Amino acid sequence: MNTSNSDPAQNDSTNATDQIHDAAELAMKVSSNPEYWYNTFTEIHRQNEEYKASLARQAEELNHVERSYEIQCAIVAELRTQLEFERNRKSSSGRSNDKIQVDEFHGDRNKYTEFIANVRLKVANEPDTDVTYIMSRLKGSAFHQVLPHIKDGVSSITSVEALISILDSAYADPQKRVNAT
């Protein structure tokens, strides 16, 4: 067939003729073996129905995945908001335990009040957790005050308040009430 003709009407006529010829050829094949063609078309129809059902399942799965994704995005956004809130809260309250460093204390009474203030800032939220850290900041005569409470590498001092009480007995101002007025 010659399709180089530039006349659109001629092309439409040629296409229609080809389609009629193809339809006539198919009709001849169907009429010569109708059972084969019936089974073939039935199988094609069954495959199309399976394909449509598969597409419907995939569309449903896609819809479920999209909903799950939207939920996960909302959760991530909420967690980011909470994280940012916590960061801002900690930075504005000045209570971030990671940033407070307690200087070593060597037993100087003039520096004891400052040392205890830093200890209390460090453990303001968790008074029982940093006993070993605070003990590691004691040096010289200050460490000798807690040494009797350490046996076989284990401390009997279980809280920061207990540690402060021991240190108070040695370094706190004995005239605290008198000097406060």
* pTM of structure: 0.44
Whether residue 1 is contained in a domain is answered as no
Note down the domain range covering 130: 109-180
Mean pLDDT for the chain overall: 83
Residues 172 and 119 in one domain: yes
The rounded distance, in Å, linking the Cα atoms of 180 and 170 is 19
Residue type, 6: S
Write the pLDDT tens digit of every residue in 50-102.
Answer: 999 999 999 999 999 999 999 999 999 898 888 888 877 766 655 544 567 78
Confidence of residue 31 (pLDDT cuts 50, 70, 90): confident
Grade residue 4 by pLDDT with cuts at 50, 70 and 90. low
Region 132-153: mean pLDDT is 91
151 belongs to a structural domain: yes
Residue 115, domain member (yes or no) = yes
Asked if residue 99 is part of any domain, the answer here is no
Of 113, 154, 110, 109, the C-alpha closest to 135 is 154
> What CA–CA distance (Å, rounded) separates 29 from 40?
12
Report if residue 42 sits inside a domain.
yes
Tens of pLDDT, residues 38-52: 888 899 999 999 999
What angle do the packed helices 160-171 and 109-122 form, to 10 degrees? Answer: 170
Is 97 among the domain residues? no
3-state secondary structure of 151: strand
What are 162-165's contacts with CB under 8 Å, separation 24+?
A: 162/131, 163/131, 163/134, 163/135, 164/116, 164/119
